[in-house]
Amino acid sequence: MRSAGAAYDGKTETGTVRRRFGTEETVKLKIGCISGDGIGPEIVGEARKVLERIAVRYGHEISWTDILLGGASIDAHGVPLTPEAVQAAKESDAVLMGSIGGDANTSPWYQLPPDRRPEAGLLAIRKELGLFANLRPALLYEELADACPLKKETSEAGFDLLIMRELTGGLYFGARKTTVENGLRTAVDTLVYNEYEIRRIAVKAFDIARKRRGKVTSVDKANVLDSSRLWRAVVNEVAADYPDVELSHMLVDNCAMQLVKDPAQFDVILTENMFGDILSDEASMVTGSIGMLASASLNDTKFGLYEPSHGSAPDIAGKDIANPIATILSAAMMLRYSFDLDEEADAVEGAVKQVLKEGFRTADIMPQKDAAGSGAACRKCSCSEMGSLIAERI
């Protein structure tokens, strides 16, 4: 709560109240909650537990709005996304989301036309909310270094990077066609970016670099592509407004190599849609477990949709064995980027590190015991236990 006589900082773009001059303000967090499908309700439940602990610990208030999306919406309404769900999301300051979808081979959802399947709802809400900036952190925890597939000296050095991927432009959204020319089937995909699209994602990258270690690596293919040459020119223009942030440029093929050679050199990697799609998957695997990977998608305000990078894992749904850490870390990103609550985000991330340091592991990150006794000190815990352990350490 705000202390008597404390300076009042007013409201942010999202309507929340912030702290100022070392005093504490009550922050009202209006959060939309999409539990999703499969393990979604389990992992989101643990993230909510952690956020509620943050609210108690720091004197904030959270109001939750439950929103249906994907298979859950199909079951309730016959469609993966309703106008009411979109409106509820727009009226929130941020949205926390679990995983969407089911087993494509067995679920009746996948007997529906493509535009009625769960993932169609996900694509639609991203479009409706104007989410153009996708953030994918890749952090290797010291306690999980043995799970990293890179050579030992690389994994022991550790790394903490974030890929900022442009999400609504480029090759995936350009005009496309397949024709027959001179008797040959010919396909054409168009890669288009304008300077506005490049500038807004670059601004996001530089702003977030200021919250991290102050370094941006812009990745392109400027030695070949006109779109990349424009990308590089606009990024340089944006960099002029951020003299405190170090900028470097790297060709995408070199970046792919450097990610497995020396990932510790990177802080924020800024890149276009297709390059970001590929590089973020590469970065995710060098951390050792996709169950640890958070993500965020932001629009041009403070609003964001926060979700784990992994899927809905319907084969383990309801068994209380899923790893909720990616979703909990996504909630930490929400605190940091939508609400500017860096101290609270640090507290969540610190609690995750502490639980791992104490040896607690969900099944997916539980090491195998070997003849030397490696892994013997770790203790397996359930999804709900992991959420409680993290919350208790905040």
The pLDDT of residue 387 is above 70: yes
- Provide the pLDDT confidence category of residue 24 given band limits of 50, 70 and 90: low
What pLDDT sits at residue 250?
98
pLDDT at residue 374, rounded to an integer: 53
Annotated catalytic residue within 30, 103, 172, 353: 172
Give the architecture (CATH level 2) of 149-286: 3-Layer(aba) Sandwich (3.40)
The residue with greater pLDDT, 57 or 375, is 57
As a whole number, mean pLDDT of residues 233-261 equals 97
How many CA atoms are closer than 13 Å to the CA of 89, on its beta-carbon side? 30
Q: What distance in Å separates the CA atoms of residue 34 and residue 84, rounded to the nearest whole number? A: 13
Q: Does the annotation count 346 as an active-site position?
A: no
85 is written with which tokens?
């769900």
% of residues, the chain, pLDDT over 70: 92
d(CA 126, CA 130): 6
pLDDT(286) > 90: no
Cα–Cα nearest to 100, from 131, 72, 67 = 72
Asked whether the beta carbons of 9 and 19 are under 8 A apart, the reply is yes
The active-site residue out of 30, 90, 215, 221 is 221
pLDDT of 32 above 50: yes
279 neighbors 271 (Cβ within 8 angstroms)? yes
Give the pLDDT score at 12: 44
Look up 281 and say whether it is catalytic: yes
| Options 66, 207, 241, 281, the catalytic residue | 281
R_g of the chain, CA atoms, integer Å:
22
Is 172 marked active-site? yes
Q: Which of 253, 262, 300, 346 is catalytic?
A: 253
Q: What is the pLDDT of residue 30?
A: 97
Catalytic annotation on 221?
Answer: yes
- State residue 375's pLDDT score: 54
Per-residue pLDDT, 142: 84
Q: Is 277 a catalytic residue?
A: yes
Query: pLDDT averaged over the chain?
Result: 90
What pLDDT is attached to residue 7?
Answer: 32
Architecture of domain 1-133+290-394: 3-Layer(aba) Sandwich (3.40)
| Res 220: pLDDT | 98
pLDDT average, residue stretch 63-69: 97
Angstrom CA distances, 109 to 104, 114, 190, 281, 287, stand at 8, 10, 32, 26, 32
Residue spans in the chain of domains classed CATH 3.40.718.10: 1-133+290-394, 149-286
| Between residues 52 and 142, the one the model is more confident about | 52
> What's the confidence (pLDDT) of residue 370?
52
Q: Catalytic residue, from 37, 93, 220, 277: name it.
A: 277
Nearest Cα residue to 293 out of 275, 311, 276: 311
pLDDT band at 155 (very low <50, low <70, confident <90, very high): confident
Residue range 179-223, pLDDT digits in tens: 999 999 999 999 999 999 999 999 999 999 998 999 999 999 999
Q: List the structure tokens of 198.
A: 């490049």
* Structure letter (DSSP) for residue 303: -
Residue 171: the pLDDT is: 94
Long-range contacts from 189-196, C-beta under 8 angstroms, 24+ separation:
191/225, 191/227, 191/274, 192/227, 193/166, 193/169, 193/227, 193/230, 193/231, 193/272, 195/230, 195/234
